[in-house]
Amino acid sequence: MVLSKKHGSYLAVNLAFGFGVAMGVHVAGNISGAHMNAAVTFANCALGRLPWRKFPVYVLGQFLGSFLAAATIYTLFYTAILHFSGGQLMVTGPVATAGIFATYLPDYMTLWRGFLNEVWLTGMLQLCLFAITDKENNPALPGTQALVIGILVVTIGMSLGMNTGYAINPSRDLPPRIFTFIAGWGKQVFSDGENWWWVPVVAPLLGAYLGGIIYVVFIGSTIPREPPKLEDSVAYEDNRITVSSKMEPHTSMASRLTPVSMNPDNRPSVRLAPTLQESMAQEQF
């Protein structure tokens, strides 16, 4: 879109972004859950859905992959970038090319409006991801999760992405920004837009966490869920208590309950059946 108005468009950017995410889900979905977004990984850890020990490992992989992706794009489009910019690597202006790799604020946006924008968009992303993968709600059909998540990314980008370029992922913004600093775009990649660089790192983390909380509290908690099945079950029948359990040498307290006759208050009473060790001790005595 930046280098050629003839071959690129805003629609093409969003479609490529969404389908790229879908391909990533297909590649790594069954291996790691396809964690390609540090904000999503953070939200899952903070809400107890993923152990914290995996967070640094996943983020390291995300950052490394994103940095190498930026290097790949730079290598493939090097001559096109120089042709478009006249040999200058610019962050702002009519021949700016830094925006190919990371997000930058347009002139009409302020820093804190951009922060709010990123929080909102990432919150919507995380809320919908929980809905898509919640088996107790109305999840995507098996085998279609990757496509549906890709459509979600396209939807966010097409409807709300104009203001900030919808980073919605620290891992897709900071590593390429670091690469452009190394490759020759200079310190302006960090200072431009009132030092905008930290917002695509912090705001998505906050947004994903809030979006996850909103889903869990206001949506997930209202969905009827099957109660957990206990190993020991107690059934009341004909004013008696019937106890079923897996009888093993070391049994639980519930499995030692045996029925007795009704007490004067017309309520069933129980006593503890002796364990195997207790029975042996009584026999020895």
Give the DSSP letter of residue 90: B
Q: Residue ranges of the chain with pLDDT lower than 70?
A: 228-285
211-266 pLDDT, tens per residue?
999 999 999 988 887 776 655 544 444 444 444 444 444 444 444 444 444 454 55
- Say if 241 falls within a structural domain: no
Inside any domain, residue 46: yes
**CATH number (domain holding residue 210):** 1.20.1080.10
The reported pLDDT for the residue numbered 275 is 52
CA distance 176 to 100: 9
Decide if 118 is inside a domain. Answer: yes
Dihedrals φ, ψ of 90, to 5°?
-110, 150
Q: Is residue 264 part of a domain?
A: no
Query: Domain for residue 194, yes or no?
Result: yes
Q: Is residue 153 part of a domain?
A: yes
Domain limits at 94?
10-218
Domains identified in the chain, total number: 1
122 domain residue, yes or no: yes
pTM for the full predicted model: 0.78
Q: What's the confidence (pLDDT) of residue 229?
A: 62
Whether residue 259 is contained in a domain is answered as no
Using an 8 Å Cβ cutoff, are 220 and 127 in contact?
no
